[in-house]
Amino acid sequence: MACTRLPEEGVMTPKELQQANIDRFEKLLRTETDPSRRSDLKRVLREEYAKNASAYPVSRDMPK
Protein backbone atom coordinates (compact mmCIF):
# COMPACT_ATOMS: atom_id res chain seq x y z
CA MET A 1 0.00 0.00 0.00
CA ALA A 2 1.35 3.41 -0.92
CA CYS A 3 1.15 5.82 1.98
CA THR A 4 0.34 9.45 1.45
CA ARG A 5 2.12 11.42 4.14
CA LEU A 6 1.41 14.99 5.07
CA PRO A 7 4.41 17.33 5.13
CA GLU A 8 4.64 17.26 8.94
CA GLU A 9 6.74 14.35 10.14
CA GLY A 10 4.76 11.69 11.97
CA VAL A 11 1.32 12.92 10.90
CA MET A 12 -1.02 10.27 9.53
CA THR A 13 -4.22 10.86 7.63
CA PRO A 14 -7.35 9.29 9.14
CA LYS A 15 -7.35 6.63 6.39
CA GLU A 16 -3.68 5.79 7.09
CA LEU A 17 -4.46 5.44 10.78
CA GLN A 18 -7.36 3.13 10.01
CA GLN A 19 -5.16 1.01 7.72
CA ALA A 20 -2.40 0.86 10.34
CA ASN A 21 -4.92 -0.47 12.87
CA ILE A 22 -6.22 -3.05 10.40
CA ASP A 23 -2.67 -4.19 9.58
CA ARG A 24 -1.86 -4.51 13.28
CA PHE A 25 -4.98 -6.53 14.11
CA GLU A 26 -4.42 -8.83 11.12
CA LYS A 27 -0.80 -9.42 12.18
CA LEU A 28 -1.88 -10.24 15.74
CA LEU A 29 -4.57 -12.59 14.44
CA ARG A 30 -2.01 -14.55 12.40
CA THR A 31 -0.03 -15.47 15.52
CA GLU A 32 -2.68 -15.63 18.26
CA THR A 33 -3.68 -19.14 19.34
CA ASP A 34 -6.04 -18.43 22.25
CA PRO A 35 -9.63 -18.88 20.96
CA SER A 36 -11.03 -16.13 23.16
CA ARG A 37 -8.36 -13.65 22.11
CA ARG A 38 -8.80 -14.62 18.43
CA SER A 39 -12.51 -13.97 18.76
CA ASP A 40 -11.81 -10.52 20.23
CA LEU A 41 -9.35 -9.72 17.45
CA LYS A 42 -11.82 -10.79 14.77
CA ARG A 43 -14.48 -8.57 16.34
CA VAL A 44 -12.28 -5.45 16.51
CA LEU A 45 -11.02 -6.13 12.99
CA ARG A 46 -14.61 -6.22 11.69
CA GLU A 47 -15.35 -3.02 13.58
CA GLU A 48 -12.26 -1.35 12.14
CA TYR A 49 -13.22 -2.28 8.58
CA ALA A 50 -16.73 -0.92 9.18
CA LYS A 51 -15.57 2.45 10.53
CA ASN A 52 -15.68 5.49 8.36
CA ALA A 53 -12.26 7.18 8.21
CA SER A 54 -13.90 10.34 9.58
CA ALA A 55 -14.15 8.52 12.93
CA TYR A 56 -10.45 9.29 13.40
CA PRO A 57 -9.17 12.73 14.30
CA VAL A 58 -6.22 13.99 12.29
CA SER A 59 -3.21 13.38 14.53
CA ARG A 60 -2.10 17.02 14.44
CA ASP A 61 -5.44 17.92 16.04
CA MET A 62 -4.72 15.69 19.04
CA PRO A 63 -3.52 17.32 22.26
CA LYS A 64 0.18 16.94 22.85
pLDDT in tens, 3-55: 555 455 567 788 888 899 999 999 999 999 999 999 999 999 999 999 886 78
At residue 39, the pLDDT reads 97
- Residues with Cβ within 8 Å of 62's Cβ and at least 6 positions away in sequence, in order, are none
- Using left for φ > 0, alpha for ψ between -120 and 50, and beta otherwise, residue 14 falls in alpha
At residue 24, the pLDDT reads 96
**DSSP secondary structure of 23-62:** HHHHHHHHH---HHHHHHHHHHHHHHHHS-GGGS--GGGS
At residue 56, the pLDDT reads 74
Question: Closest Cα to residue 29, out of 18, 45, 17?
Answer: 45
